[in-house]
Amino acid sequence: QSALTQPPSASGSPGQSVTISCTGTSSDVGGYNYVSWYQQHPGKAPKLMIYEVTKRPSGVPDRFSGSKSGNTASLTVSGLQAEDEADYYCCSSYAGSDIYVFGSGTKVTVL
Amino acid sequence: EVRLVESGGGLVQPGGSLRLSCAASGFTVSNYWMFWVRQIPGEGLVWVSDMNKDGTNTMYADSVKGRFTISRDNAKNTLYLQMNSLRAEDTAVYYCVRGGLPAGLDCWGQGTLVTVSS
């Protein structure tokens, strides 16, 4: 199972939106609605931001939204704020099993 | 408060062994799927292993299969990762994580650093 493909970086000014893509295959991203997204600040543990493609855990701002089309999932951060500057990772179940594959990670910079 | 605290990391020589522990509080580990995820400093996250709720099914990444063993002590509410035949490429921060399908990995420990070097 290969890592899911994410762009290495993305950026936007405060108040703007940024969208991060996560491309897999029909065996992972495209085949199941088990895509999740994680935010990681430097030196900190990752934090769950989106699960089941579009759902937000309690406490995650609604500025964060997820979607999927075919083998590509996306995370959009609207109304960018300074605290959104972090690394973001997607994750998918492989073949609907108990095997998981992460994306390569995207560093989001707030200009 | 739901919390996971890892311990047991450190410096070990190639070919050596370590056992990581993950003490859970605020919830019962046997009610959840539990995971180990690792991250080489400066690199991305990699799924290592997981265990289902009743402990009857475990899965491993190909890179650690046959060398690492995930286990659990329900009485101590603690998850373990026994790591044998360690290699330099196993050097990473190891995170203990609660979660599973469909709800994602919703609680992460702070991580423990394992360094494999002579």
Give me the DSSP letters along chain B.
--EEEEE--EEE-TT--EEEEEEEESS-GGGSEEEEEEE-TTS-EEEEEEE-TTS--EEE-TTTTTTEEEEEETTTTEEEEEE-S--GGG-EEEEEEEEETTTEEEEE---EEEEE--
pLDDT of residue B94: 98
Residue B54: other Cβ atoms inside 10 A: 8
First to last CA, chain A: 35
Contact of A93 with chain B, judged by CB distance below 8 Å, is answered with yes
Contact of B40 with chain A, judged by CB distance below 8 Å, is answered with no
pLDDT tier, A108 (very low <50, low <70, confident <90, very high otherwise): very high
Which residue in B4, B39, B105 has the most chain A C-beta atoms within 10 A of its own C-beta, making it the best mutation to test that interface? B105
Backbone dihedral angles phi then psi of residue B40, each to the nearest 5 degrees: -65, 135
pLDDT of residue A62: 96
Q: Render pLDDT for A4-36 as a digit per residue (tens, 0 to 9).
A: 999 999 999 999 999 999 999 999 999 989 999
pLDDT of residue A9: 97
**Residue percentage of chain A with pLDDT more than 70:** 99
Q: Render pLDDT for A65-76 as a digit per residue (tens, 0 to 9).
A: 999 999 999 999
Q: Please name the member of B44, B59, B106 whose beta carbon is closest to the beta carbon of A98.
A: B59
Residue range B104-116: average pLDDT?
Answer: 96
Q: Please name the member of A34, A102, A103 whose beta carbon is closest to the beta carbon of B101.
A: A34
CA B108 to mean position of chain CA atoms: 10
